[in-house]
Amino acid sequence: MGIKFPQYLKPGDKVSIISPAGIIDPQIVQRGAELLRQQGFKVEIGHHAFDSAGIFAGSDSDRANDLQKALDDKSVKAIFFSRGGYGSMRTHHQINWSSFFKRPKWLVGFSDITVFHAYLSRHNIASMHGVMTAWFEKDGEPTESFLQMMNLLKGKAADYKLDPNPLNRLGTASGILTGGNLSIIQSLRGTPLDILPKGKILFIEDIGEYHYHIDRMMQNLKAGRILEQLSGLIVGYFTEMKDGETPYGKTAYEVIKEAVAPYQYPVVFGFPSGHELPNYPLLMGSKISLNVFEDHVNILKYN
Protein backbone atom coordinates (compact mmCIF):
# COMPACT_ATOMS: atom_id res chain seq x y z
CA MET A 1 0.00 0.00 0.00
CA GLY A 2 1.32 3.45 -0.92
CA ILE A 3 1.79 6.26 1.56
CA LYS A 4 -0.98 8.86 1.65
CA PHE A 5 0.21 12.46 1.83
CA PRO A 6 -1.96 15.23 3.27
CA GLN A 7 -2.47 18.27 1.05
CA TYR A 8 0.46 20.66 1.17
CA LEU A 9 -0.22 24.00 2.82
CA LYS A 10 -0.97 27.22 0.99
CA PRO A 11 -1.50 30.82 2.14
CA GLY A 12 -4.86 31.33 3.83
CA ASP A 13 -5.06 27.78 5.19
CA LYS A 14 -6.22 27.32 8.77
CA VAL A 15 -3.90 25.50 11.18
CA SER A 16 -4.16 24.58 14.85
CA ILE A 17 -1.74 24.53 17.76
CA ILE A 18 -2.46 21.78 20.30
CA SER A 19 -0.73 20.76 23.55
CA PRO A 20 -1.05 16.95 23.71
CA ALA A 21 1.60 16.34 26.35
CA GLY A 22 3.60 18.64 28.65
CA ILE A 23 2.69 22.01 30.13
CA ILE A 24 3.96 25.05 28.21
CA ASP A 25 4.38 28.79 28.69
CA PRO A 26 1.48 30.52 26.88
CA GLN A 27 3.81 33.26 25.62
CA ILE A 28 5.82 30.68 23.67
CA VAL A 29 2.67 29.42 21.97
CA GLN A 30 1.36 32.91 21.23
CA ARG A 31 4.66 33.86 19.64
CA GLY A 32 4.63 30.62 17.64
CA ALA A 33 1.12 31.43 16.44
CA GLU A 34 2.30 34.86 15.28
CA LEU A 35 5.13 33.32 13.27
CA LEU A 36 2.65 30.98 11.58
CA ARG A 37 0.44 33.97 10.77
CA GLN A 38 3.46 35.66 9.19
CA GLN A 39 3.68 32.60 6.93
CA GLY A 40 0.15 33.36 5.74
CA PHE A 41 -1.87 30.93 7.86
CA LYS A 42 -4.94 31.42 9.99
CA VAL A 43 -4.15 30.05 13.45
CA GLU A 44 -6.44 28.49 16.03
CA ILE A 45 -5.04 27.58 19.46
CA GLY A 46 -6.58 24.66 21.32
CA HIS A 47 -8.96 25.63 24.11
CA HIS A 48 -6.89 23.71 26.68
CA ALA A 49 -3.43 24.44 25.22
CA PHE A 50 -2.45 26.52 28.26
CA ASP A 51 -3.97 24.28 30.95
CA SER A 52 -1.90 22.54 33.60
CA ALA A 53 -2.39 19.36 35.61
CA GLY A 54 0.89 18.31 37.16
CA ILE A 55 3.37 17.93 34.32
CA PHE A 56 0.59 17.77 31.73
CA ALA A 57 -1.11 20.52 29.72
CA GLY A 58 -4.45 19.72 31.33
CA SER A 59 -6.27 16.46 31.88
CA ASP A 60 -5.99 13.56 29.44
CA SER A 61 -9.56 14.11 28.31
CA ASP A 62 -9.13 17.86 27.78
CA ARG A 63 -5.94 17.41 25.78
CA ALA A 64 -7.63 14.69 23.73
CA ASN A 65 -10.70 16.87 23.15
CA ASP A 66 -8.54 19.65 21.71
CA LEU A 67 -6.80 17.22 19.37
CA GLN A 68 -10.06 15.52 18.41
CA LYS A 69 -11.64 18.85 17.53
CA ALA A 70 -8.71 19.78 15.29
CA LEU A 71 -8.65 16.35 13.65
CA ASP A 72 -12.38 16.51 12.90
CA ASP A 73 -12.43 20.13 11.69
CA LYS A 74 -12.45 19.99 7.89
CA SER A 75 -11.07 23.53 7.66
CA VAL A 76 -7.90 22.71 9.64
CA LYS A 77 -5.10 21.67 7.28
CA ALA A 78 -2.29 21.10 9.80
CA ILE A 79 -1.88 20.52 13.52
CA PHE A 80 1.25 21.90 15.16
CA PHE A 81 2.03 20.45 18.57
CA SER A 82 3.20 23.11 21.02
CA ARG A 83 5.73 20.83 22.75
CA GLY A 84 6.51 17.25 23.68
CA GLY A 85 7.58 16.34 27.18
CA TYR A 86 5.43 13.42 28.24
CA GLY A 87 1.78 12.55 27.71
CA SER A 88 1.14 11.94 24.00
CA MET A 89 0.42 8.24 24.51
CA ARG A 90 -2.17 9.08 27.17
CA THR A 91 -3.79 11.51 24.72
CA HIS A 92 -3.56 9.05 21.82
CA HIS A 93 -5.56 6.40 23.71
CA GLN A 94 -8.64 8.64 23.65
CA ILE A 95 -8.61 9.68 19.97
CA ASN A 96 -11.04 8.53 17.29
CA TRP A 97 -9.11 8.74 14.02
CA SER A 98 -11.94 7.84 11.63
CA SER A 99 -12.52 11.40 10.41
CA PHE A 100 -8.80 12.00 10.02
CA PHE A 101 -8.38 8.90 7.86
CA LYS A 102 -10.95 10.30 5.42
CA ARG A 103 -9.17 13.66 5.24
CA PRO A 104 -5.56 13.37 6.46
CA LYS A 105 -3.85 16.56 7.54
CA TRP A 106 -0.31 17.33 8.66
CA LEU A 107 0.69 16.48 12.21
CA VAL A 108 3.87 18.34 13.13
CA GLY A 109 6.30 17.83 16.03
CA PHE A 110 9.10 15.69 17.45
CA SER A 111 10.29 14.04 20.69
CA ASP A 112 7.22 12.71 22.56
CA ILE A 113 5.23 13.39 19.37
CA THR A 114 6.95 10.26 18.00
CA VAL A 115 3.84 8.48 19.34
CA PHE A 116 1.73 10.10 16.61
CA HIS A 117 4.36 9.59 13.92
CA ALA A 118 4.41 5.89 14.84
CA TYR A 119 0.63 5.62 14.64
CA LEU A 120 0.48 7.29 11.23
CA SER A 121 3.36 5.15 9.99
CA ARG A 122 1.35 2.04 10.82
CA HIS A 123 -1.52 3.49 8.78
CA ASN A 124 0.63 4.61 5.81
CA ILE A 125 0.04 8.34 6.29
CA ALA A 126 2.86 10.88 6.08
CA SER A 127 3.65 13.29 8.92
CA MET A 128 6.22 15.97 9.73
CA HIS A 129 9.05 15.47 12.21
CA GLY A 130 9.76 19.13 12.82
CA VAL A 131 10.26 21.90 15.34
CA MET A 132 7.61 22.92 17.86
CA THR A 133 6.75 26.42 19.07
CA ALA A 134 9.77 27.01 21.36
CA TRP A 135 12.01 26.24 18.38
CA PHE A 136 10.25 28.47 15.84
CA GLU A 137 12.53 31.41 16.57
CA LYS A 138 15.83 32.32 18.22
CA ASP A 139 16.96 35.82 19.20
CA GLY A 140 13.77 37.26 17.72
CA GLU A 141 14.25 35.73 14.27
CA PRO A 142 12.67 32.64 12.68
CA THR A 143 15.06 29.71 12.86
CA GLU A 144 16.43 28.09 9.74
CA SER A 145 14.74 24.89 10.94
CA PHE A 146 11.33 26.59 11.09
CA LEU A 147 11.73 28.04 7.61
CA GLN A 148 12.89 24.69 6.21
CA MET A 149 9.85 23.03 7.78
CA MET A 150 7.54 25.63 6.24
CA ASN A 151 9.05 24.91 2.83
CA LEU A 152 8.46 21.17 3.23
CA LEU A 153 4.87 21.71 4.37
CA LYS A 154 4.30 23.89 1.32
CA GLY A 155 5.50 21.10 -0.96
CA LYS A 156 9.11 22.07 -1.68
CA ALA A 157 11.42 19.06 -1.89
CA ALA A 158 14.17 18.53 0.67
CA ASP A 159 17.65 17.58 -0.48
CA TYR A 160 20.13 17.40 2.39
CA LYS A 161 23.85 17.29 1.72
CA LEU A 162 25.98 16.66 4.82
CA ASP A 163 29.64 16.49 5.70
CA PRO A 164 30.99 12.98 6.36
CA ASN A 165 31.23 11.51 9.85
CA PRO A 166 34.05 9.05 10.64
CA LEU A 167 31.53 6.60 12.11
CA ASN A 168 29.38 6.50 8.96
CA ARG A 169 28.96 3.25 7.07
CA LEU A 170 29.16 3.82 3.32
CA GLY A 171 26.54 2.67 0.87
CA THR A 172 23.31 3.58 -0.87
CA ALA A 173 19.75 2.63 -0.04
CA SER A 174 16.17 3.64 -0.55
CA GLY A 175 13.20 3.18 1.71
CA ILE A 176 10.35 4.74 3.64
CA LEU A 177 11.50 7.13 6.35
CA THR A 178 10.23 6.33 9.85
CA GLY A 179 11.20 6.73 13.51
CA GLY A 180 11.86 9.63 15.87
CA ASN A 181 12.84 9.62 19.53
CA LEU A 182 14.56 6.38 20.49
CA SER A 183 13.11 6.26 24.02
CA ILE A 184 9.59 6.62 22.64
CA ILE A 185 10.26 3.99 19.96
CA GLN A 186 11.40 1.67 22.75
CA SER A 187 8.28 2.40 24.80
CA LEU A 188 6.10 1.37 21.84
CA ARG A 189 7.71 -2.04 21.38
CA GLY A 190 5.13 -4.83 21.63
CA THR A 191 2.22 -2.45 21.03
CA PRO A 192 0.21 -1.77 17.85
CA LEU A 193 2.52 1.22 17.30
CA ASP A 194 5.67 -0.90 17.08
CA ILE A 195 7.97 -0.46 14.07
CA LEU A 196 7.40 -2.43 10.89
CA PRO A 197 11.04 -2.34 9.79
CA LYS A 198 11.09 -4.02 6.39
CA GLY A 199 11.84 -1.50 3.64
CA LYS A 200 12.27 1.33 6.16
CA ILE A 201 15.06 3.80 6.78
CA LEU A 202 14.99 4.46 10.51
CA PHE A 203 15.78 7.84 12.06
CA ILE A 204 16.62 8.00 15.78
CA GLU A 205 17.53 10.75 18.26
CA ASP A 206 17.39 11.19 22.04
CA ILE A 207 18.14 13.45 24.98
CA GLY A 208 19.17 13.09 28.61
CA GLU A 209 19.70 9.31 28.64
CA TYR A 210 22.43 7.24 30.24
CA HIS A 211 24.79 5.55 27.81
CA TYR A 212 23.80 2.12 29.10
CA HIS A 213 20.14 3.01 28.49
CA ILE A 214 21.00 3.67 24.84
CA ASP A 215 22.70 0.29 24.67
CA ARG A 216 19.73 -1.43 26.30
CA MET A 217 17.34 0.11 23.78
CA MET A 218 19.54 -0.78 20.82
CA GLN A 219 19.94 -4.34 22.11
CA ASN A 220 16.15 -4.59 22.32
CA LEU A 221 15.84 -3.52 18.68
CA LYS A 222 18.52 -6.04 17.79
CA ALA A 223 16.97 -8.93 19.72
CA GLY A 224 13.57 -8.08 18.25
CA ARG A 225 15.03 -8.38 14.72
CA ILE A 226 14.20 -4.77 13.96
CA LEU A 227 17.73 -3.66 13.13
CA GLU A 228 18.46 -6.53 10.75
CA GLN A 229 15.45 -5.75 8.56
CA LEU A 230 16.12 -2.05 8.00
CA SER A 231 17.25 -0.59 4.68
CA GLY A 232 19.26 2.17 6.35
CA LEU A 233 19.78 4.13 9.57
CA ILE A 234 20.01 7.88 10.17
CA VAL A 235 21.29 8.91 13.60
CA GLY A 236 20.45 12.43 14.77
CA TYR A 237 21.47 14.28 17.91
CA PHE A 238 22.03 12.37 21.12
CA THR A 239 21.99 15.36 23.42
CA GLU A 240 23.12 15.62 27.05
CA MET A 241 23.97 11.95 27.38
CA LYS A 242 24.96 10.82 30.88
CA ASP A 243 27.27 8.33 32.55
CA GLY A 244 26.67 6.53 35.81
CA GLU A 245 29.12 6.42 38.70
CA THR A 246 31.14 3.97 36.65
CA PRO A 247 31.63 5.33 33.10
CA TYR A 248 30.10 3.16 30.40
CA GLY A 249 33.14 3.52 28.17
CA LYS A 250 31.41 4.32 24.89
CA THR A 251 29.62 7.34 23.46
CA ALA A 252 26.02 7.01 22.30
CA TYR A 253 27.18 6.96 18.68
CA GLU A 254 29.72 4.21 19.44
CA VAL A 255 26.97 2.19 21.15
CA ILE A 256 24.75 2.49 18.08
CA LYS A 257 27.58 1.68 15.67
CA GLU A 258 28.33 -1.49 17.62
CA ALA A 259 24.67 -2.56 17.62
CA VAL A 260 24.34 -2.33 13.83
CA ALA A 261 27.81 -3.71 13.05
CA PRO A 262 26.49 -7.10 11.80
CA TYR A 263 24.43 -5.52 9.03
CA GLN A 264 25.34 -4.09 5.64
CA TYR A 265 23.04 -1.10 5.08
CA PRO A 266 24.33 2.50 5.08
CA VAL A 267 24.39 4.38 8.38
CA VAL A 268 24.65 8.15 8.86
CA PHE A 269 25.76 9.71 12.15
CA GLY A 270 25.29 13.33 13.10
CA PHE A 271 22.21 14.20 11.08
CA PRO A 272 21.18 17.63 12.45
CA SER A 273 17.78 16.75 13.87
CA GLY A 274 16.62 16.28 17.44
CA HIS A 275 16.90 18.32 20.63
CA GLU A 276 19.30 20.98 19.30
CA LEU A 277 19.40 23.62 16.60
CA PRO A 278 19.57 23.32 13.70
CA ASN A 279 16.76 20.79 13.83
CA TYR A 280 16.17 19.81 10.21
CA PRO A 281 12.64 18.69 9.36
CA LEU A 282 12.03 15.15 8.16
CA LEU A 283 9.03 14.05 6.12
CA MET A 284 8.04 10.79 7.79
CA GLY A 285 6.46 8.37 5.35
CA SER A 286 8.30 9.77 2.34
CA LYS A 287 10.44 7.53 0.18
CA ILE A 288 14.02 8.70 0.35
CA SER A 289 17.37 7.78 -1.09
CA LEU A 290 20.24 7.59 1.38
CA ASN A 291 23.65 7.97 -0.24
CA VAL A 292 26.65 7.74 2.07
CA PHE A 293 29.98 8.48 0.39
CA GLU A 294 33.46 9.07 1.76
CA ASP A 295 33.33 12.83 1.18
CA HIS A 296 29.63 13.63 1.73
CA VAL A 297 26.16 12.31 2.50
CA ASN A 298 23.07 13.00 0.44
CA ILE A 299 19.51 12.39 1.63
CA LEU A 300 16.92 13.05 -1.04
CA LYS A 301 13.15 12.65 -1.06
CA TYR A 302 12.09 11.21 -4.38
CA ASN A 303 8.49 10.17 -3.89
Cα separation, 218 vs 241, whole angstroms: 15
Report all structural domains of the chain as residue ranges with CATH numbers, in order of start.
14-153 (3.40.50.10740), 159-301 (3.50.30.60)
Query: In this structure, what are the phi and psi dihedrals at residue 234, rounded to the nearest 5 degrees?
Result: -120, 120
Could you give the angle at which helices 252-259 and 211-223 cross, rounded to 10 degrees? 20
- The one-letter amino acid at 264: Q
Q: Are the beta carbons of 269 and 253 closer than 8 angstroms? A: yes
Q: Could you tell me whether strands 14-18 and 106-109 are parallel, antiparallel, or unpaired per DSSP bridges? A: unpaired
Q: Cα separation of 173 and 292, whole Å? A: 9
Q: What is the pTM of this model?
A: 0.97
148-160 pLDDT, tens digit per residue, is 999 999 999 888 9
Instruction: Give the Å distances, CA to CA, from 69 to 46, 93, 123.
Output: 9, 15, 20
pLDDT at site 36: 98
Tell me how far the alpha carbon of residue 253 is from its chain's centroid.
Answer: 19
The per-residue pLDDT for 2 is 85
Low-confidence ranges of the chain (pLDDT < 50): none
Q: Determine the pLDDT at residue 303.
A: 57
pLDDT of the residue at 1: 62
